[in-house]
Amino acid sequence: MKHLILASTIALTGVLGLSGCAVTSGQSTVGQYVDDATITTRVKARFAQDPQVSAMRLNVETLKGVVQLSGFAASQAEKQRAEQVASGVPDVRQVRNDIVVRAPQ
């Protein structure tokens, strides 16, 4: 899993380097975009490693170091754990937890 994350990060960095200054609206530099992509990758990787969090049901987006979580959690405990995990990732300035708790069907 670590090799996959490392390969993904390297590939993303290469693609961004080739694309010039293709920065999305609201971001100041290509460097910030790369930093945000790295944060998102790290949060997703930690979700995948955490037995209390479903990485498949939760979405992660990052803008200027602010991580936004969305998707569906099976319990309030899972929602809180996801926020806790995301908060522990380096360079995360803030976490916006928009996860909806929905009982499994």
Each residue of 6-53: pLDDT tens digit? Answer: 555 565 555 454 444 444 555 567 667 679 999 999 999 999 999 999
Q: Which carries the bigger pLDDT value, residue 54 or residue 8? A: 54
Closest of 44, 46, 41 to residue 58, by C-alpha: 44
Domain layout of the chain by residue ranges: 2-101
58-63 and 66-73 as β-strands: parallel, antiparallel, unpaired?
antiparallel
8-12, 41-45, 82-86, 98-102: range with lowest mean pLDDT: 8-12
Q: Is the dihedral of CA 4, 5, 10, 16 positive or negative?
A: positive
Question: What is the architecture of the domain spanning 2-101?
Answer: 2-Layer Sandwich (3.30)
